Amino acid sequence: MTLLNLLETLLVIGMLGAALFVVRTRDLLAAVVVTAIISLVAAILFYVLQAPDVAITEAAIDAGLTTAIFLVALRKTERYEK
Amino acid sequence: MNLLLQGVAGTLILIGSLFLFLGALGVYRFPDVYNRLQAGTKSTTLGALSLILGVGLAEPAWLPKALVLMLFILLTNPVSSHAIGRASYKSGYPLWEGSIVDHCQEHDACKGGGEA
Amino acid sequence: MTRRVLAILLLLILAVALYQALARVPFGTDRMAVSRYYLDHGVQDLGGVNIVTSVVVLYRGFDTLGEVTVLFLAATGLGALLHGLALHDEKRRRTKTPPSLIMRTATRILFPLILLLGAYVFVHGHLTPGGGFPGGVVVALAYLLGFLAHDHWRVNHRAVRWIEGLAGMTYVIIGLLGLYLAGSFLANFLPPGTPGRLFSAGIIPLIYITIGFKVGSEMTGLLSEMKEITE
């Protein structure tokens, strides 16, 4: 397994761990921030797979815009679940 | 001359990675939000700057772009950590129980947060 | 408990099914005739060095028009939903903290730089990775920085809506010009030029500037509406 494959495997395992945290946590603010981290890792994976246009688009949209929209939506409801 | 430049670039990249690792270690080990911000900002900014300068010296065609990137990181990283610190103080995150002094209570911009 | 077990089981079955379906497709090899044609003839036919944007705007330009329409519908729907939905809840009104001096000063330096970056990304869409959509989003992110750092940063809603409508109309007008001058809707009616220069690649720079303005103004209007419901 080459070094690049090792990096990809580590990143995917990190994404899976972060996704499990997002599903299980009660603190919705932390869930939104970890969602932004998941999209950042996805953008890095897109770059490693030689698709720079998709990487730029994913990083700009999901690590900035949808996090802001989620946070504004969270402002109108409760921060802790249940 | 070229060998010297490559040597300096390699050393800078190594120093940069070391500081980034130390920053991550600090974020993991410090007990409090405010301490973690110290480690996470100062160390990682220096590490990123050093890494990008090393890459810029190793490939001289990329040097102007690397300098612009360094300037941008130097501008935005401290401002964002200031915003995070201020927001967590205002939200009332408690200081670490070993904290001795809280200078922000003396200013009237900081009322209402950070019970120690 | 049983529901969770069933959900995980369903996800596992779905994962196995997707794997079986996609594992034998030869991605990235030389078995795909259409992409081989695009890669071989894209640069000399159209002049744009970035093959991805050549495919998105010229070979498959009509799908991009559909994408722009879907974005427009989503932003308009969100605007209609949020109109007049302000936060009138008195018991949740927190004391407003003024933004600090550091944020205001840094925003004063960074806002034109980020706008410049967004404009660079969508003007050079045919040369560097990126294109109209990320460029427009970066422009909207500059305005988001303004909203976060200043207390009374307002965007003129009429101007934003006018720019968005005019940009969308310009896209269709360029397509109709292609119909009039070169025979089919969204056809390439400008010369390809020398690959690698700024004024090359046919109508790709024009369309990407249009898309950049449209997406930028759309996202800025969306963020402004979302900020106003938290006032």
Q: How far apart are CA C59 and CA B60, in angstroms?
A: 37
The ranges assigned to domains in chain A are 3-75
Task: Give the SS3 label for residue B59.
Answer: coil
Residue for token pair 């730089």: C113
Residue C102 in contact with partner chain B when CB distance is under 8 A: yes
Greatest CA span in chain C, whole angstroms? 65
C226: closest CA of chain B, how far (Å): 20
Q: What is the pLDDT of residues A58-80, one digit of tens each?
A: 999 998 889 999 988 888 888 88
Interface test with C, best of A16, A46, A70, A72 (most C CBs within 10 A): A72
The mean pLDDT value for A1-19 works out to 89
Instruction: Decide if C6 is inside a domain.
Output: no
B76·C106 Cβ contact <8 A: yes
Q: What is the pLDDT of residues C22-57, one digit of tens each?
A: 888 777 666 677 878 888 887 777 777 888 888 888
Q: What pLDDT sits at residue C84?
A: 67
B79: closest CA of chain C, how far (Å): 7
Q: What pLDDT sits at residue B114?
A: 54
Q: What is the pLDDT of residues C157-207, one digit of tens each?
A: 899 989 999 999 999 999 898 888 888 888 888 877 777 777 777 888 889
The mean pLDDT value for B31-38 works out to 90
Non-local CB neighbours of A8 within 8 Å, separated by 6+ positions: A45, A48
A79: closest CA of chain C, how far (Å): 13
Instruction: Supply the range of the domain harboring residue C104.
Output: 33-85+97-228
Q: How far apart are CA C62 and CA C55, in angstroms?
A: 11
Q: What pLDDT sits at residue B116?
A: 45
The ranges assigned to domains in chain B are 2-110
Instruction: Decide if C21 is inside a domain.
Output: no
Residue C106 in contact with partner chain B when CB distance is under 8 A: yes
A65·C144 Cβ contact <8 A: yes
Q: What pLDDT sits at residue C55?
A: 87
pLDDT band at B115 (very low <50, low <70, confident <90, very high): low
Instruction: Decide if C71 is inside a domain.
Output: yes
Q: What pLDDT sits at residue C193?
A: 76
Q: What pLDDT sits at residue C78?
A: 87
pLDDT band at A31 (very low <50, low <70, confident <90, very high): very high
The closest CB to that of B75, out of C95, C100, C106, belongs to C106
Q: CA angle A68-A31-A79, nearest 5°?
A: 80
Question: At CB < 8 Å, which residues of chain C contact A?
Answer: 50, 52-53, 87, 121, 129-131, 133-134, 137-138, 140-141, 144, 219, 222-223, 226-227, 229-230
What is the full DSSP assignment across chain A?
--HHHHHHHHHHHHHHHHHHHHHH-SBHHHHHHHHHHHHHHHHHHHHHTT-HHHHHHHHHIIIIIHHHHHHHHHHTS-SB--
**Average pLDDT of the residues of chain A:** 90
DSSP 8-state symbol, C23: T
List b or e across B34-61, with b for residues whose CB sees 16 or more CB atoms inside 10 angstroms: bbbbbbbbbbbbbbbbbbbbbbbbbeee
Residue C91 clears pLDDT 50, i.e. is over it: no
C208: closest CA of chain A, how far (Å): 14
Cβ(A80)–Cβ(A27) below 8 Å: yes
Percent above pLDDT 90 for chain C = 36
A69·C137 Cβ contact <8 A: no
Interface test with B, best of C94, C96, C101, C102 (most B CBs within 10 A): C102
pLDDT band at B86 (very low <50, low <70, confident <90, very high): confident
B30-44, C56-70, C175-189 — which is least confidently predicted?
C175-189
Question: Domain tally for chain C?
Answer: 1
Interface test with A, best of C57, C138, C218, C227 (most A CBs within 10 A): C138
Closest-CA residue of chain B to C104: B79
Of the candidates C107, C54, C59, C83, the residue with the CA atom closest to the CA atom of residue C161 = C83
Residue C115 in contact with partner chain B when CB distance is under 8 A: no
Of the candidates C214, C219, C104, the residue with the CA atom closest to the CA atom of residue C153 = C104
One-letter amino acid for residue B41 of the chain: T
Greater pLDDT, C30 or C144? C144
C171: closest CA of chain B, how far (Å): 33
B56: closest CA of chain C, how far (Å): 20
Residues of B in contact with C103 (CB under 8 A): 79, 82-83
Non-local CB neighbours of C203 within 8 Å, separated by 6+ positions: C57, C58, C174, C178, C188, C189, C190
Q: pTM of this prediction? A: 0.86
A72·C229 Cβ contact <8 A: yes
pLDDT band at B100 (very low <50, low <70, confident <90, very high): confident
Q: Phi and psi at residue A80, in whole multiples of 5°? A: -105, 140
What is the full DSSP assignment across C163-210?
HHHHHHHHHHHHHHHHHHHHSSTT---S---STTSSS-STTHHHHHHH
A25-29, A69-73, C4-8, C92-96 — which is least confidently predicted?
C92-96
Task: Show the tokens assigned to C184.
Answer: 């089919």
